Structure 1
Amino acid sequence: MIVGLGNPGREYEKSKHNTGFRVIDELASRLGVTVWRSQMDALVAQAMDDGEKILLVKPQTYMNNSGAAVGPLMRWYKLDETDVYVIYDDMDLPVGRLRIRTSGSAGGHNGIKSLLAHGCERFIRFRVGIGRPLPHHDVVDHVLTPFPDELVPEYEEGLKKAADAILGCLKLGVDKGMNRFNPRKKKE
Structure 2
Amino acid sequence: MLPQAVRLHSFWTPFYTPISLTARCLPLLPSPSSIKATMHSQDDSSDPKTDVKTTPQKVLFVGLGNPGSKYQGTRHNVGFEMIDTIAKAEGISINTIQCKALLGKGKIGDTVVLLAKPQTYVNLSGESVGPLAKYYKIPVEHVLVMYDDLDLEVAMMRLLPKGGHGGHNGMRNIIQNFKGNRQFPRLRIGIGRPPGTMDPKAYVLQRFSTREREEMNISLERGVEAVRLLSTQGIEKAISTWNPPRKSRDPTFKSRSNQV
Task: State the TM-score, normalized to the length of structure 1.
Answer: 0.94
Matches within 5 A, 1:144-183: 144-183=205-244
- Percent of aligned pairs with the same residue? 37
SS state at 1:113 partner: helix
Larger-Rg structure: 2
Deviation for aligned residue 1:154: 1.0
SS state at 2:239 partner: helix
Q: Distance in 2 between matches of 1:123 and 1:33?
A: 23
Q: Distance in 2 between matches of 1:91 and 1:9?
A: 22
| Deviation per residue, 1:129-164 (Å, 9 max, x gap) | 110010111111111111011211111112111221
Q: Distance in 2 between matches of 1:48 and 1:103?
A: 24
Answer yes or no: is the 8 Å Cα contact 1:88–1:128 preserved in 2. yes
Question: What RMSD in Å do the two structures reach over aligned CA positions?
Answer: 1.4
In structure 1, what is the equivalent of residue 66 of structure 2? 7
Residue identity in the other structure for 1:128: I
Matches within 5 A, 1:53-92: 53-92=112-151
Answer yes or no: is the 8 Å Cα contact 2:160–2:185 preserved in 1. yes
1:22 and 2:81 aligned: yes
In structure 1, what is the equivalent of residue 53 of structure 2? none
Residue identity in the other structure for 2:146: I
In structure 2, what is the equivalent of residue 131 of structure 1? 192
Residue identity in the other structure for 2:66: N
In structure 2, what is the equivalent of residue 36 of structure 1? 95
Q: Distance in 2 between matches of 1:103 and 1:32?
A: 28
Deviation for aligned residue 1:89: 0.7
Residue identity in the other structure for 2:62: V
Structure with greater contact order relative to length (CA < 8 Å, sep ≥ 6):
1
In structure 2, what is the equivalent of residue 111 of structure 1? 170
Worse-superposed segment, 54-63 or 119-128: 119-128
The gaps in structure 2 that reach 5 residues or longer are 1-59, 250-260
Q: Distance in 2 between matches of 1:117 and 1:87?
A: 17
Residue identity in the other structure for 1:125: R
Task: State the TM-score, normalized to the length of structure 2.
Answer: 0.69
SS state at 2:166 partner: coil
Q: How many residues align?
A: 186
| Deviation per residue, 1:67-123 (Å, 9 max, x gap) | 000001100001100110110111101111110111111111011001011015321
| Deviation per residue, 1:34-90 (Å, 9 max, x gap) | 252111101111011113211000000000000000001100001100110110111
Residue identity in the other structure for 1:48: K
The gaps in structure 1 that reach 5 residues or longer are none
Answer yes or no: is the 8 Å Cα contact 2:94–2:115 preserved in 1. no
Q: Distance in 2 between matches of 1:137 and 1:42?
A: 31
2:182 to 121, 131, 138: 121
Worse-superposed segment, 153-162 or 176-185: 176-185
Residues 66, 35 of structure 1: CA spacing in aligned structure 2 closer, same or farther, 3 A cutoff? closer
1:99 to 133, 145, 158: 158
